[in-house]
Amino acid sequence: MQIHSKLPTVGTTIFTVMSSLAVEHKAVNLGQGFPDFMMSEELIALVNAAMKNGFNQYAHMNGLPLLRERLAEKIFKLYETKINADTQITITPGGTYAIYTALTTVLQPGDEVIVFEPAYDSYIPNIEINGAKPILISLQYPDYSIPWDEVKSKVNERTRMIMINTPHNPTGAVLSENDIEQLRSIVANTNILILSDEVYEHLIFDAIKHQSILCYPDLLERSFVCFSFGKTYHCTGWKLGYCISSPELMKEFRKVHQFNCFSCDTPKQIALTEFLKNEEAYLSLGSFMQTKRDFFRELMKATPFRLIPSHGSYFECYSYAGFSDENDFDLAVRLTKENAVTAIPLSSFYKNKTDNKVLRFCFAKKEETLEKAVTKLIHIK
């Protein structure tokens, strides 16, 4: 039997590779982005109650109607944007699924999609499996800002979409108002669509305002905006998220969605509908996680790693150019084996494996976890 792979150059993700190494060597895993502390007991109890109360069958294909209404209310409070819960919001099994479905909805063979690297690892395979071509633009090291002049030079009649991600995974960079204005000027009077990955919308620090596409009606009209409940409520294993778009684009999105997932976890949707009334649970998230970031920063000052500041997400990047010439993958493996601490090499987020001697660490951990990890990093050579 012959199988012609649709992703012939794709192997096992770096997260699986490094997490497996972490288990093998009993290392502190600061690689893959997941909290090691408990989520809300109240939210857990709400899921349990939903199950006991019989909410265990299929939910509406587009998501529980009341949950979508609560999200629309939240969006208006946060961004002063009116969203139609019935025609513009679809609940999805995670943010990554929402991204894949959005791309599959609109891409045709030969289309081009502008992607900024380092990039979340699903973007490029999602584009290629749809027969489209990723146009790769490197963010400017070390602040990982977008080189907008280069973007303008890469736009042509084949450009179907520009993908943005703020706060950014893997670097923690965030977009500014100027970035949005640059984007707006590029797509004006074109058929270019936008995919905005905003799964870390509440994980933003230093009193910086999140520049959501939801704030800009002219951009939302041509955008798919993707979110994650898992990142907001410390339950990444739930794999629940949602996508927001214009009614016209969402109608097409749902055509793909209905034959793929169709319906998402009902008891968790019931629970989230009730829990969304607790605004403090998401409004306090930025300060909660910034405290962890700052705690980790202070600890890391005792190591030879050099900080590359993060302003959002679960992650902060550190340069090791001052003490090693190793490539970042080799150093990440050595750290796991010799120091029992696992990080992610940033070259894994570039298609051509660009190596700036940078590792990504996840600080969404208990303080004792971070202390244990850094204690092992102090004497790295």
Between CA 64 and CA 53 the distance in angstroms is 16
User: What integer pLDDT is reported at residue 170 of this predicted model?
Assistant: 97
User: What integer pLDDT is reported at residue 197 of this predicted model?
Assistant: 98
Residue 58 has pLDDT above 90, yes or no: yes
Give the pLDDT confidence of 268-326 residue by residue, as tens digits: 999 999 999 999 999 999 999 999 999 999 999 999 999 999 999 999 999 999 999 99
Nearest by Cα to 91 from 265, 275, 271: 265
Give the pLDDT confidence of 127-175 residue by residue, as tens digits: 999 999 999 999 999 999 999 999 999 999 999 999 999 999 999 999 9
Residue 381 has pLDDT above 90, yes or no: no
pLDDT average, residue stretch 27-56? 96
Residue 379 has pLDDT above 90, yes or no: no
Residue 39 has pLDDT above 90, yes or no: yes
Close Cβ partners of 74 (under 8 Å, ≥ 6 residues apart)? 276, 279, 282
SS (H, E, C) 192-236: CEEEEECCCCCCECCCCCCCCHHHCHHHHCCEEEEEEHHHHCCCH
Give the pLDDT confidence of 327-373 residue by residue, as tens digits: 999 999 999 999 999 999 999 999 999 999 999 999 999 999 999 99
**Cβ(226)–Cβ(211) below 8 Å:** no
3-state secondary structure of 104: helix
Domains, the chain, ordered by start: 14-39+283-377 (3.90.1150.10), 59-278 (3.40.640.10)
- Full DSSP string of 249-293: HHHHHHHHHTTTT-S--HHHHHHHHHHTT-THHHHTHHHHHHHHH
User: What integer pLDDT is reported at residue 250 of this predicted model?
Assistant: 98
Give the pLDDT confidence of 80-116 residue by residue, as tens digits: 999 999 999 999 999 999 999 999 999 999 999 999 9
Strands 344-345 and 89-92: unpaired
**Rounded to two decimals, what is the model's pTM?**
0.96
